[in-house]
Amino acid sequence: MADFDNSDIVRLAFVQRYGTGTSIVNVVHVRLESGANIDFATFAVAAGEYGGYLYAPLAPVITNAQVADYIAVTNVTQGRVWGQANWLGYTGGNAATEALPPQVCLLCWGRTTLPRVQLRKYLGVFTEANMNSGIWAAAIVAAGVTWMGNHIAPWASTGGTTFKGGAYRDSDGRFTTAVSVASTQNPVIQRRRRVGTGT
């Protein structure tokens, strides 16, 4: 058995830092579709590339007070925590206008064919320039749809390992792929991202 085999479910926690003390974390699960049977060092490069693939398109609208930190990797199928991978192709946001509070997020989701089973992700930290009359600008909503669409579609690393994002349930190990994506204009609150509220 390799460190990472085809059909393994892997948990990736994309960790970024906002300001001096707030963690911005998005956790995803991917299934390794092909090109796996690899060691952790090889997988870590693929994970870093995947982080860049998902987040680099958001960089122009994410505040420049937010920087990429690390990607935590766990092989759920094998029950093994591997540690950290480095981001590749993304270092953080580039938007220089005033940042919104970190708990104000864009919600995007991927719908599955199962009742009440969906992927939900809270993206940010964006800036005041991204909001019009209390709702997200159309470009931000579209960015959320693109982010989730990229996540649920098959993606191949430069080393040839293919990921596919989905919804994972710990209780029975079920991995479900999404069939459609959406994003909301209405800002939502992710309370754990408030300044001073842990990581």
pLDDT tens-digit profile of 37-95? Answer: 999 999 999 999 999 999 999 999 999 999 999 999 999 999 999 999 999 999 999 99
Q: Give CA–CA dist 35/2, Å, rounded.
A: 12
Distances (CA, A) of 148 to 5, 173, 184: 24, 22, 12
Residue 195 has pLDDT above 90, yes or no: no
- 196 confidence band (pLDDT: 50, 70, 90): low
Statement: the pTM of the whole predicted model exceeds 0.75: yes
pLDDT at 171: 85
Residue 6 has pLDDT above 80, yes or no: yes
Q: Give CA–CA dist 185/109, Å, rounded.
A: 13
pLDDT at 170: 87
For residue 109, what is the enclosing H or E element?
strand 104-111
